[in-house]
Amino acid sequence: MIALDRAQCLALDAADPLRALTDEFDLPDGVIYLDGNSLGVLPRGTAARLQDVIAREWGTDLIGSWNTAGWVDLPQRVGDKIARLIGAGPGQVVAADSTSLNLYKVLTVALDIVESTAYRDAEQPQDAPRRVILSERSNFPTDLYIAQSIAAQRDCELRLVDNPADIPAILASDEGAELAVLMLTEVNYRTGERHDLAALTAAAHAAGALTVWDLAHSAGAVPVDLVGAEADFAIGCGYKYLNGGPGAPAFVWVHPRYADRFRQPLSGWLGHADPFAFDTAYEPAEGISRYVCGTPPILSLSALECGVDTLLAAEPFGGMPALRAKSLELTDLFIALVDALPAELGVTVVTPREHARRGSQVSLTLAAPRHEAGYAVVQALIARGVIGDFRAGDPRDLEGHPHILRFGFTPLYLSRTQVFDAVAHLREVLDTDEWRDERFAARGAVT
Ligand SMILES: *Cc1c(COP(=O)(O)O)cnc(C)c1O
């Protein structure tokens, strides 16, 4: 049952055990933050933790902290915590580098595996080399750019699907025999649409291909079961739902069946089996530790640990499944309230309504004559303290890729009442034409 009136929202919030988790954060008063999918909010513990790392670990204990404060193991320690959120085991994840760099590592390794004699011997001998990386056109650009570089370096082809619904049929068709890697982002950054990670992984494997999953909009947002799905590689972001802070390190997971057997291409000294032997020859560390490259950014990793801890704080309340249930309740409520807006305001929900096909965000478009107003509408909402963001459409195909007003829902700190109020603000901004104010037209470098 969806509460459409504010009093019901207040009552449901008062009875919500997850409400206690709001205390994990310091949010400015009067802000309804619907952008945790882009930059998670500041956890209450982060400033004190960083102060301690700076003043005591660095300031007082100096270089000894690499040993005494466990700095050198921080990528693994934070990785183990992230693993609990994405259905991976201990020792299977490291927090390191950026999502883009981690994608470069795992996509290269996936292609190396597919080209390896052992992998090819397991297939029909007449199979031609698998040269295709399959992804979707609306994948996040950095993922496509990294794949383009790799494709150029090693004579592969990046093939893009326009409609993600076509992927299972492509995998099952003759094209399947050309595929090396299926590279997808589980939850689409524009539309909030969620793929069926387990089913597509199984379909890719049946076609003889490997899978690389980008969990940028999944980790901390939806329950993920990488081991259960038998996925091959995954990467994801630390600064979105993991609340790690701007530019937080990313993470990388490799299925244990591959982690030890292949070298990742960015073979830096801290991914070496014995960095302090200062050997001239590279010898990869065991397992996922080889996916660390250079010296870990201790301040950023410490902040990321605080962010991940805010999600682990939900474990006594039911963990990711409980957070998912609340996330769906919040997005259902937002969708129902938007649906109830007067038709002449022309607001349309782009995100799928089926729970299984939805991440933790809801994307809207505005119909003509307001279609171009999306950016200004978001700015007007921000001026009212309702923070979402805007993603421009594709000018060549605004029908298929319209301008998007994007709202992320983080169940750790959002209430139903805030969702209710956010839609009331949206209605007022449109009803009163407030967005037409010229101060809402100026574009910053980051939208
Ligand atoms: C946010 C996001 C990224 C960001 O990559 P960086 O290397 O951290 O800049 C990559 N891929 C997807 C799908 C994202 O949503």
pLDDT given at position 370: 87
Cα of 142 to ligand 1 centre, how many Å? 6
Confidence of residue 445 (pLDDT cuts 50, 70, 90): confident
CB neighbours of residue 352 within 10 Å: 17
Task: Please indicate whether residue 22, judged by its CB atom, sits closer than 6 Å to ligand 1.
Answer: no
Confidence of residue 127 (pLDDT cuts 50, 70, 90): confident
How many residues does this entry show for the chain? 447
Q: Does domain 6-30+319-441 have CATH number 3.90.1150.10?
A: yes
User: Which residues on neighbouring strands pair with residue 184, listed in sequence order?
Assistant: 213
Q: Minimal CA–CA distance to 411: which of 243, 171, 164? A: 243
275: left (phi over 0), alpha (psi -120 to 50) or beta: alpha
Q: Is 346 exposed, middle or buried (0-12, 13-18, 19+ CB in 10 A)?
A: middle
Kindly calculate the radius of gyration of the chain based on its CA atoms and give it in whole angstroms. Answer: 23
Task: Please indicate whether residue 189, judged by its CB atom, sits closer than 6 Å to ligand 1.
Answer: yes
Task: Please indicate whether residue 267, judged by its CB atom, sits closer than 6 Å to ligand 1.
Answer: no
Task: Please indicate whether residue 143, judged by its CB atom, sits closer than 6 Å to ligand 1.
Answer: yes
H-helix or E-strand containing 54? none
Arithmetic mean of pLDDT, 189-193: 97
Arithmetic mean of pLDDT, 39-52: 98
Output the six-digit token pair for 406.
Answer: 């994007």
Arithmetic mean of pLDDT, 167-180: 96
Cα of 369 to ligand 1 centre, how many Å? 32
pLDDT given at position 401: 86
Q: Minimal CA–CA distance to 137: which of 125, 149, 148? A: 148
Helix (H, G, I), strand (E, B) or coil at 13: helix
Arithmetic mean of pLDDT, 427-440: 96
Distances (CA, A) of 430 to 32, 195, 232, 321, 447: 18, 32, 46, 35, 20
Cα of 237 to ligand 1 centre, how many Å? 6
Arithmetic mean of pLDDT, 158-174: 97
Residue identifier of the C-alpha nearest atom 14 of ligand 1: 216
How far, in Å, CA of 444 to CA of 6, rounded?
A: 34
Helix (H, G, I), strand (E, B) or coil at 22: helix
CB neighbours of residue 161 within 10 Å: 17
Q: Which residues are known to be catalytic?
A: 140, 214, 239-240, 406
Cα of 216 to ligand 1 centre, how many Å? 6
Three-class secondary structure assignment of 280-336: CCCCECCHHHHHCCCCCCHHHHHHHHHHHHHHHCCHHHCHHHHHHHHHHHHHHHHHH
Residue identifier of the C-alpha nearest atom 10 of ligand 1: 99
Residue identifier of the C-alpha nearest atom 2 of ligand 1: 216
Task: Please indicate whether residue 37, judged by its CB atom, sits closer than 6 Å to ligand 1.
Answer: no
H-helix or E-strand containing 159? strand 157-161
Give φ, ψ of 227 to 5 degrees. -70, -45
Distances (CA, A) of 293 to 102, 266, 270, 284, 287: 10, 6, 5, 11, 13
Cα of 445 to ligand 1 centre, how many Å? 17
Arithmetic mean of pLDDT, 99-125: 92
pLDDT given at position 312: 98
pLDDT given at position 400: 82
User: Which residues on neighbouring strands pair with residue 253, listed in sequence order?
Assistant: 93, 234
User: Which residues on neighbouring strands pair with residue 183, listed in sequence order?
Assistant: 212
Task: Please indicate whether residue 389, judged by its CB atom, sits closer than 6 Å to ligand 1.
Answer: no
pLDDT given at position 2: 63
Delimit the CATH 3.40.640.10 region(s) of the chain: 53-312
Residue identifier of the C-alpha nearest atom 6 of ligand 1: 99
Arithmetic mean of pLDDT, 361-368: 96
Task: Please indicate whether residue 216, judged by its CB atom, sits closer than 6 Å to ligand 1.
Answer: yes
CATH assignment of 53-312? 3.40.640.10
Arithmetic mean of pLDDT, 42-60: 98
Q: What is the separation of C-alpha 93 from the centre of its chain, rounded to a whole number of angstroms?
A: 15
Output the six-digit token pair for 199.
Answer: 């089913």
Arithmetic mean of pLDDT, 211-220: 98
Output the six-digit token pair for 32.
Answer: 């309804």
Arithmetic mean of pLDDT, 83-103: 98
- Choose one of 97, 142, 195, 300 to mutate for the ligand 1 pocket test, by most ligand atoms within 8 angstroms of C-beta: 142
How far, in Å, CA of 133 to CA of 170, rounded?
A: 12
Confidence of residue 228 (pLDDT cuts 50, 70, 90): very high
pLDDT given at position 375: 96
Which atom, in ligand 1's list, is nearest to the CA of 185? 13
Arithmetic mean of pLDDT, 355-375: 95
Give the percent of the chain with pLDDT over 70.
99
pLDDT given at position 371: 87
Arithmetic mean of pLDDT, 324-346: 97
Output the six-digit token pair for 231.
Answer: 């996925």
How far, in Å, CA of 21 to CA of 92, rounded?
A: 28
For 262-298, the pLDDT digits (tens) are 999 999 999 999 999 999 999 999 999 999 999 999 9
How far, in Å, CA of 233 to CA of 210, rounded?
A: 8
Give the percent of the chain with pLDDT over 90.
91
pLDDT at residue 321 is higher than 80? yes
Query: Rounded to 5 degrees, what angle do the CA atoms 408, 409, 414 make?
Result: 135
Confidence of residue 6 (pLDDT cuts 50, 70, 90): very high
Amino acid at 68: T
Arithmetic mean of pLDDT, 98-109: 98
Name the residue with higher pLDDT: 20 or 396.
20
pLDDT given at position 1: 52
pLDDT at residue 174 is higher than 90? yes
Delimit the CATH 3.90.1150.10 region(s) of the chain: 6-30+319-441
Cα of 245 to ligand 1 centre, how many Å? 14
Cβ-contact 207, 177 below 8 angstroms: yes
